[in-house]
């Protein structure tokens, strides 16, 4: 089995990689029958030399590899026919901008595995950068507050070495007695929590958060049933919400009345209710000053996320009265941070974490006959056709 790490070719450049040099060395030690080559790259967070020092072959041509690993979409013209590829294809929700990519993958007889489709038998995602999005999202949200109210100036996350540097800079500021609300308890939520705990922000209960005043910064982390309620008033379980999201409405308004910064790190199903509405943001008793939409669903559950922002220009203002974007410093604007590729800001940490997940959950499947069905479930295309699990994409491929 010959694995290849491909060079990232998408613009803007992405410095992340599926495997760090250490992780690839571990792979070779663990699976002696595996060989690995890394396509030379001048943008990757780890240099060619760092891989060479670990005894990994650097090459200009990975066409002799069986399985190719990348992070972002591979440009159509760079796809090598008759190979297996792993990358974020952004096709499983029928994204219009990648229809040509999926079509080309089928035409070139490529077996495509998407990082998003690597799930366990309960359909839970095993691989992702979400934790690192949560970390950077918290940093960026606090940075936005400091800039908006001219209280403190934090450097951009992308200029720092990684997670530990984010924590160090956050610890240096004089933190006002702010209230932070976090939605989501998955990977993104866990990353957000890790940073808040590291900088000694006190976690409190929902009841205390809603009713008490504090002289220090505090936060609350909400699960889905703590910010949604059934329209008919029944109190049921999480499964009911998953199966009948249309029977629910947002119960988030009570948090907008007491929160300064909102970190949105939830997973949002297509017919689940809005979380933060324009009406809530427009209310005279809304206290929210910064919304850091880490999940970043444009036209999704967060009314002020009018567009995704960029690492270069991460912040904009939202004017609830007119439901429009305004200058970040507009006095009536809510500050919005909606960068959709936050893990790119700490590429070293996020690459190392990603590779560890890959080694734990995916690589063994190549050598144990895929006994847990990891590869089978993740495969979108095979021998020029969509697999049964992804046959729903046929009309998308056909351009209908």
Active-site residue flag, 90: yes
Angle at the Cα of 277 (from 271 to 281), degrees rounded to 5?
A: 165
Cβ contact 291:302 at 8 Å? yes
16 is in an annotated binding site: no
Q: Which of 72, 163, 266, 268 is catalytic?
A: 72
Tokens of 169: 């800079």
Please state, in angstroms and rounded to a whole number, the distance separating the CA atoms of residues 124 and 127.
9
Please state, in angstroms and rounded to a whole number, the distance separating the CA atoms of residues 120 and 146.
41
Active-site residue flag, 200: no
**Buried b or exposed e, range 42-62, using 16+ CB within 10 angstroms:** eebbbebeebeebebeebeeb
Give the number of residues written for the chain: 400
Q: Which residues lie closer than 8 Å to 28 by C-beta, 6 or more apart? A: 34, 35, 36, 55, 56
CA atoms within 13 A on the CB side of 32: 0
Q: Which of 2, 28, 90, 348 is catalytic?
A: 90
Partnered with residue 39 across adjacent β-strands are 59
Instruction: Output DSSP code: residue 367.
Output: H
Cβ contact 336:318 at 8 Å? yes
Dihedral (CA of 348, 350, 353, 354) sign: negative
Give Cα 336 distance to the centre of its chain. 17
SS3 of the chain: helix, strand, coil, percent, to 5: 35, 20, 45
Tokens of 163: 């997670």
124 is in an annotated binding site: yes
Annotated binding site: 124, 223
Annotated binding site for NAD(+): 124, 223
Active-site amino acid positions: 72, 90
């Amino acid at each position: 089995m010959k694995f290849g790490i491909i060079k990232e070719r998408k613009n803007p450049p992405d410095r992340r990689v599926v495997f760090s040099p250490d992780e690839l060395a571990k792979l070779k030690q663990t699976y002696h029958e595996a060989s690995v080559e890394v396509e030379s790259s001048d943008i990757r967070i780890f240099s060619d030399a760092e891989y060479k020092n670990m005894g990994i072959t650097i090459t200009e041509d990975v066409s002799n590899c069986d399985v190719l690993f990348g992070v972002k979409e591979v440009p159509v013209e760079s796809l090598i026919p008759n190979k297996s590829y792993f990358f974020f294809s952004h096709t499983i929700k029928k994204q219009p901008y990648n229809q040509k990519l999926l079509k080309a993958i089928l035409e070139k007889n490529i077996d495509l595995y998407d990082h998003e489709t690597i799930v366990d038998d309960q359909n839970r995602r095993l691989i992702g950068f979400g934790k690192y999005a949560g970390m950077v999202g918290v940093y960026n949200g606090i940075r936005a507050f400091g800039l908006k109210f001219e209280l403190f100036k934090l450097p951009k996350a992308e200029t720092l070495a990684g997670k530990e540097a984010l924590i160090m800079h956050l610890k240096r500021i004089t933190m006002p007695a702010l209230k932070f609300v976090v939605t989501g308890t998955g990977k993104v939520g866990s990353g957000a929590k890790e940073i808040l705990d590291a900088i000694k922000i006190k976690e409190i209960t929902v009841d205390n958060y809603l009713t008490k005043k504090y002289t220090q910064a505090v936060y609350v982390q909400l699960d889905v049933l703590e910010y949604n309620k059934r329209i008919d008033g029944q109190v049921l379980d999480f499964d009911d919400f998953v199966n009948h999201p249309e029977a629910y409405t947002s119960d988030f308004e009570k948090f907008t009345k007491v929160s300064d910064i909102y970190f949105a790190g939830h997973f949002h199903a297509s017919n689940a209710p809005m979380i933060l509405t324009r009406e809530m943001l427009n209310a005279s008793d809304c206290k929210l000053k910064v919304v850091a939409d880490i999940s970043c669903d444009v036209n999704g559950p967060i009314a002020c996320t009018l567009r995704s922002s960029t690492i270069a220009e991460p912040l904009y203002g939202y004017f609830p009265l007119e439901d429009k974007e305004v200058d970040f410093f507009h006095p009536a604007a809510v500050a919005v941070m909606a960068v959709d590729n936050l893990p790119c800001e700490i590429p070293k940490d996020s690459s190392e974490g990603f590779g560890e997940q890959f080694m734990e959950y995916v690589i063994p499947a190549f050598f144990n006959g895929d006994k847990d069905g990891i590869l089978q479930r993740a495969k979108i295309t095979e021998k020029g056709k969509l697999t049964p699990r992804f046959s729903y994409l046929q009309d998308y491929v056909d351009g209908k």
